[in-house]
Amino acid sequence: MKEVQIKNRKIEIVSTIDAAGLYCPMPIVHLKRELEKLKSNQVVEILADDPSFEKDITSWCQASSDKLLSVSKNEDDIYVAYVEKF
């Protein structure tokens, strides 16, 4: 399993979703399906290049009660987000 450091907290990543090349709403659809398989407090990493992804995932996490731990763009212009299941 992969581990990352987010806000001085070591996070264990349970799974990664590569949604690059997919556009709204598909990255969020894939995230929702993956979170349904996880237990509470488990974290999924999602990669996406949809220009609206940051706004979409922020809104979706607020509506779903799942926790957006971080979202940022990497050097390849890919958004990398970490979501913790509620």
Burial bucket for residue 33 (CB in 10 Å: 0-12, 13-18, 19+): exposed
Instruction: Provide the annotated active-site residues.
Output: 24
Beta strand 79-84 with 43-48 is antiparallel
Cβ atoms 31, 57 nearer than 8 A: yes
